[in-house]
A and B are shown apart, each in its own frame.
Chain A
């Protein structure tokens, strides 16, 4: 049985869409990331137009993040103060990002730009995480050291505040800056930003991995809600039927992922996430630079 998607204007097999949602939801629950970095390319591979895939996955990530964050909230593993600060930056960034997305769409370079940006970010972040987590596994298998050279420059920044849930006393500038940056990516790449936010919180801010997962999801809820609203209202590219079918698989997978996460060490989780991120980057590099491309393509003329 196929179902017709009103905005994407294609017919899809709902079982495949549920399966995609479940896989991504599982990773979301396991790593505390929204999963958009995986969902968008999977939807594009399945034939959903890039603009619809980018916008619709934000809607799905919204649902899975609410489901995931609720269990971390009960375990008091959400730093609301830190999350709110990054969220404020994220809202500014995503507003700018939606504008950039509209411009890219206008000039017809959405697909190429999204692919190249994905490769850069997935490759760099995946590589750095894999390097660090392999080293950490050889030691205690826990969180990275609290006072690293990477964080030394932050100690000199002004406007310091306490974040008791994370056990931090840091300037508000880095969390705000990270929020703005992630917000722009959220709108342009159609990701919740978790795959950047999660390592940034652990490595740049020094947030414990356990608190990072819940805080990341908390922040992603509001960011994806905002991006969904903007993309649906101004670009009309959110497909509610596709989003709903994805959500069904997503929330089921998210619960299974959260259960699996409790059985792994922090460094093992980070290494697995790094491998997933690198695999995605490899696939995109193959598609963009290695796979044979057709000589001709069709465009709708204006």
Chain B
């Protein structure tokens, strides 16, 4: 990773303990944007997807103008466990995104401070929300960093897979990688425009990841009709074994 990449990683990971990512950020002028596809189906051949977002930056761009984009997965509770010589310590996050992918243009990386990234909803660490009485904990930053690291190990958080291309007329095309192990649900895609290190426009689109085809059929069957699913599982084993035995005899 080069110096610019390291600076960006710091900007999106470093979250002062008291600074939780705001869910209600001050409204900025909306920028127009659109997703190439709003629904992605998980089928048996699904091995991740590349989400394409087109967004237009506000007028009056200068050398510092740029855009950052984040894909934020469905949130849920999570717990980080730390092994210590004295035993295990646990830290609970009430809610944290299951998936977080973020990327920004180079000029944004150079000019936008970490606090502004947090206020813009683009900071992965700050999006993990602890219990209210843990917000001032001196260890919060370390727990959040560990959480992000673990999510990166699972391939669910990424900071260098998102690319943003500048097209004509202030139009940007962002490509965001949706990992193969991403859970189904509604995903938010945030695009934020910056100028002189400040937010000047933002937009949010929703992408739905749904199970489809045989993947959905088998999953639903296993959850709703366990008895039939169990019978099918045995039948599959018997059929394949019997066919193999028959082929072996010939």
Contacts and interface: CB of A to CB of B under 8 A. Distances in A.
A64 interface: yes
A39 to B, nearest CB: 13
A3 B77 CA distance: 28
Contacts of B79: 298-301
B92 A243 contact: no
Contacts of B218: 6-7, 240-241
B187 interface: no
Interface string B215-231: 11011001100110111
A232 B229 CA distance: 6
A230 B222 CA distance: 12
A297 B81 contact: yes
B78 A298 contact: yes
Interface stretch (A66-74, A143-151, A162-170, A269-277): A66-74
Interface in B66-83: 76-83
B18 interface: no
Nearest to A236: B222
A62 B226 CA distance: 19
A65 B237 CA distance: 9
Interface string A62-90: 11111100110010000000000000000
B150 A65 contact: no
B237 A11 contact: no
A44 to B, nearest CB: 15
Contacts of A121: none
B46 interface: yes
A255 B245 CA distance: 9
A219 interface: no
A106 interface: no
A234 B241 CA distance: 24
Interface string A136-165: 000000000000000000000000000000
Given A70-B248, A298-B150, A300-B78, A293 B241 contact: no
Contacts of B43: 4
Nearest to B98: A300
B19 interface: no
Interface residues of B, number: 53
- By secondary structure, the A interface counts as helix
A240 B241 CA distance: 15
Contacts of B231: 229
Interface in B178-198: 180-181, 183
Interface string B146-177: 11011100100000000000000000000000
B214 A243 contact: no
Given A6-B218, A241-B218, A63 B241 contact: yes
A247 B237 contact: yes
Contacts of B248: 67, 70-71, 255
Contact of B219 (A7, A71, A233): A7
A67 B241 contact: yes
Contacts of B227: 233
A240 B220 CA distance: 13
Interface string A1-38: 11110110111000000000000000000000000000
Contacts of B181: 9-11
Nearest to B211: A6
Contacts of A295: 82-83, 146
A225 B237 contact: yes
A244 B44 contact: no
Contacts of A300: 76-79
Interface in B25-49: 42-48
A297 B91 CA distance: 11
Contacts of A248: 240
A254 B244 contact: yes
Contacts of A228: 230, 233-234, 237
A11 B47 contact: yes
A59 interface: yes
B44 A3 contact: yes
A301 B130 CA distance: 12
Nearest to A9: B181
B173 to A, nearest CB: 26
Nearest to B149: A296
Contacts of A40: none
16 contacts: A4-B46, A11-B180, A59-B236, A64-B241, A65-B241, A66-B241, A224-B237, A230-B230, A233-B229, A240-B233, A240-B236, A243-B233, A255-B244, A296-B146, A296-B150, A300-B77
Interface of B: 42-48, 76-83, 92-93, 146-147, 149-151, 154, 180-181, 183, 211, 214-216, 218-219, 222-223, 226-227, 229-234, 236-238, 240-245, 248-249
Q: Which A-B residue pairs are the 5 nearest by beta carbons? A: A66-B241, A62-B237, A233-B230, A251-B244, A11-B180
Given A66-B238, A233-B229, A296-B80, 9 more contacts: A1-B45, A4-B46, A6-B214, A74-B249, A232-B226, A232-B230, A238-B229, A294-B83, A295-B83
